[in-house]
Structure 1
């Protein structure tokens, strides 16, 4: 029967959950009702500042009688110090000497006994309890935890080291007297590592130190590493850049030699470049042969040769020293003979260019003269291979130059088979060449006077000179027959064919004359083998008369 009652009174899981929640809510209300002293659970403050600790008694029923209120400080567990007391009859009291001049009650009231602590110290951190003495419930209290915060004093510095093969501290970073403890980080690409230590102060602050280590080399000198400090009291991380300082002995190199030290050169110089930390204290120049040549001048790390000669055909040595050691470097200079004065190179080049230009001018002038001579030759007598245009109605073709050619033709009055005749009154043909290299034959009437024909009858055919003197041609045509000394020279050239006995010149073979068998007025003029018969019965000379 008891078993049946238990089974009827058993609760379902859902019902059990609701009952547990209701019990928790009830206990919470009971706690709230029991908590009659209202305070702030936690406060933060900084040294040298001030903080207000608030306290208030809550009496919902109004049946509790307050007799006294006290503030008790607990710096550590187990230690309780009364720092402020208020009694409605006896007034205020500050029993702890370290707080006496720094603590005051904000209101003279048991219901609101809040206090203010000024000139805070890091040692003021701890729990502060507001405690009431009441009747009839006894003592009622509330506790506030005061946390003191301190901004760290951040710093970073370089540690000067000497280059070597062991890992050493090259930089330090510190966040001192901070609360809570700071965090230090290193940023950099030099390949080192760091270590961090902490130290607690007597007032609750913490000092954090970090050291950066690496195996220093000359290449690390002047490189940067960054220290970064993060802490609760800082709005943003603190960052500082540290430039490493690695000391090492000098490393020397000589520059300035260009392999062109010729005799007489005056601008030759050498530079001794030394890389060292610290900077070299001394730089010394010497020669392998001993003392430096007289033509050499030294100014610090620079060696200048006033004038290159065989004395500087030697080996120069530069040595640099600092507190960590010394280093040397040497270079051998070779003196060569001067092929030419470099200062006159421009003058020589100008002379060469001027000569070339003058030569080109002469060549151009000669070319012009040759061209003019060839043009004049083309205007002179034709060669033996030139062809002559026919007198009337025919042409053999050929190149006659730019001069006009006079061609005489005619038929014999007596009809002889040799084509000879005494009549020279036939037309005169002139050949003229145009710009298009095509020639035309034009006819000009032969109106010589009778005395000219008579002159021909005695053996002298009309010459170009006779034609010019005849006055039967106009001025432009006369200018074309320019009788100058060249014509006279041409006539003299024909003198070699012989002369008439008793004096006088003989005509060239092309102009031999003989008398016919007719009367005195009938004269046969023939031109020996120079004459050529044409199809129309005319006879023309192979050798033209050029004027």
Structure 2
């Protein structure tokens, strides 16, 4: 059993500890050390270890320090005492310092970080009369990747098979870098990882694509993401697609005519690599001596003639292949402007002739209509007695044939005669007159003219009888 004085001492110590605990909770005598839980340091660069100190109003900061935990134990790497100053061990004196030491800031900066600096660091704060307060952070060393792009081992040839265009490499990164290609082409990526020393990894991403000349000069972009990088690392890569010459001929505009001077044709070639050979030839005959070939241009040294018409070929070659383009030239007798003027004049003449023809036809039609004979009665028309309409005036009636005249007599009377003889009928040959109502009897001369009218109107067996003359 303990003596009474010893029991009283323990009771007093318990009351003091409880008082200190209450003060810490209420913040009267409490102090607090705040550090980040984890800090990433980049190999070869500086890293900042934050340590903020909050000291109670009734406490006094006596000292702040940093310790590093090693397998053999903890070692002090930096000490700040408001009265005695700063103390740093020799092994850290050249690459560790306090950023802005005070009673509220114990932050240090560690420079030229290496793999040996990985571990746990503790910020300790000593106050009076409370004692020590501490907090720990873990330092992890990142290795920033070395990024570059290399071209594929095979040249990109237009129309070839799938080829490695380029490879993006993020070398010796910790942790492994994220590498990708940005492109609007229909290619594909292949990723490879390689373990390196000190826990680093190299990442290679190759871009495969089937080359075509239409995207010559376009750009791919290698994108690398890593915690040690403040932002995405981007490297552009320009495509270099090789292709045979693509040829076009300028100079011949389709309006080459006899007598034209200074005519020439030039062969243009789009090629990669550039064209190194040009040649002009004529396919349908030998090339005349007065035609001069100057690099890619064919010059006509005299005015054009009809025999210059023909087929000309331009040949262009580069390191990939040889290509050619044929041009058929036709030399006209006149220029296009002269031919257009001739067509306009011919059209105007034809229009004037057509207008005159239409006017003449119109005049002829009008004159013919004015001289047209009166209408002729229809064949074998018999005018029956009127029943619903009044008889026409006497002046409109056609001369009638007496009913006593037989059709055979009419036919005999109408037989053709010589031109100087005319049919004459005597009183004996005429049938006896029939009593009828109507106008008075006519003389033989009037009867003869009536018969002549009948013969003229009848033609072949055409007889017109007006029964209204004999209807009783």
Scaled by the length of structure 1, the TM-score of the pair is 0.48
| Correspondence list, 1:290-309, <5 A | 292-293=287-288, 307=304, 309=306
How many angstroms apart in 2 are the aligned matches of 1:218 and 1:91?
Answer: 71
Distance 1:130 1:196, change over 3 A: same
2:312 to 310, 316, 319: 316
Q: Displacement, 1:321? A: 3.4
- Residues 355 and 290 (structure 1 numbering): CA distance in 2 closer, same or farther, change over 3 Å? closer
Matched position secondary structure for 2:107: strand
5+ residue gaps, structure 2, are 1-23, 26-30, 383-390, 400-418, 451-472
1:118-139 Cα offsets, whole Å, 9 max, x none, are 586554764322357999xx99
Q: Name the structure 2 match of 1:145.
A: 138
- Distance change >3 Å, CA 312–CA 509, structure 1 → 2: closer
Partner deviation per Cα, 1:232-259 (whole Å, 9 max, x = no partner) = 477986667644211233254769999x
Instruction: Name the larger-Rg structure.
Output: 1
Q: For 1:102-501, what aligned pairs fall within 5 Å after superposition?
A: 102-107=98-103, 114-118=105-109, 122-123=113-114, 126-130=119-123, 142-147=135-140, 162-164=155-157, 169-173=164-168, 181-188=176-183, 189-196=185-192, 210-214=205-209, 216-218=211-213, 221-222=216-217, 225-232=220-227, 242-252=237-247, 264=258, 272=267, 274-281=269-276, 283-288=278-283, 292-293=287-288, 307=304, 309-313=306-310, 315-322=311-318, 324-329=319-324, 331=326, 333=328, 342-343=339-340, 344-374=342-372, 377-378=373-374, 394=394, 397=397
Deviates more, 1:219-228 or 1:183-192: 219-228
Greater relative contact order, per chain length (Cα 8 Å cut-off, separation 6+):
2
Matched position secondary structure for 1:98: coil
Q: Give ranges in structure 1 of 5+ residues lacking alignment.
A: 1-31, 399-406, 408-495, 499-507, 511-525
Does residue 94 of structure 1 match 2:92?
A: no
Equivalence map 1:32-51=2 (5 Å): 38-40=33-35, 42-44=37-39, 50-51=48-49
**Structure 1 position 183, deviation (Å):** 0.7
Measure how far apart 1:93 and its partner are.
Answer: 1.1
Q: Does structure 2 conserve the Cα–Cα contact (< 8 Å) formed by 1:161 and 1:216?
A: no
CA distance in 2, matches of 1:48, 1:208: 25
Q: Distance in 2 between matches of 1:535 and 1:297?
A: 115
User: Do the aligned partners of 1:270 and 1:303 also contact (CA within 8 Å) in 2?
Assistant: yes
**Alpha-carbon shift at residue 263 of structure 1 (Å):** 7.8
Q: What do residues 88-122 of structure 1 show as CA deviations (whole Å, max 9, x unaligned)?
A: 76443122213455544332xxxx7x522358655
| Counterpart Cα distance in 1 of 2:65 and 2:169 | 42
Is residue 393–residue 536 contact of structure 1 (8 Å, CA) maintained in 2? no
Paired position in structure 2 for 1:85: 79
Contact (CA 8 Å) 2:193, 2:204: kept in 1 or not?
Answer: yes
- Tell me, yes or no, if the aligned pair for 1:271 and 1:301 is still in contact at 8 Å: yes
Contact 1:42–1:144 under 8 Å retained in 2: yes
Shift of 1:171: 2.9
Q: 1:474-495 deviations in whole A, cap 9, x for unaligned?
A: xxxxxxxxxxxxxxxxxxxxxx
Among 48, 53, 68, which residue is 2:51 paired with?
A: 53
3-state SS of the aligned residue for 2:367? helix
**Is the partner of 2:275 in helix, strand or coil?**
coil
- Matches of 1:73 and 1:392, distance apart in 2: 149
- For the aligned residue pairs, the C-alpha RMSD in angstroms reads 6.5
Deviation at 1:230, TM superposition (A): 3.6
Q: How far apart in 2 are the matches of 1:394 and 1:131?
A: 155
Please say if residues 278 and 317 of structure 2, whose CA atoms lie closer than 8 Å, have aligned partners that are also in contact.
yes
Confirm or deny: 8 A CA contact 1:162 1:248 kept in the other structure. no
| Distance 1:195-1:149 versus aligned 2 partners, 3 A rule | closer
Give TM-score scaled by structure 2 length.
Answer: 0.54
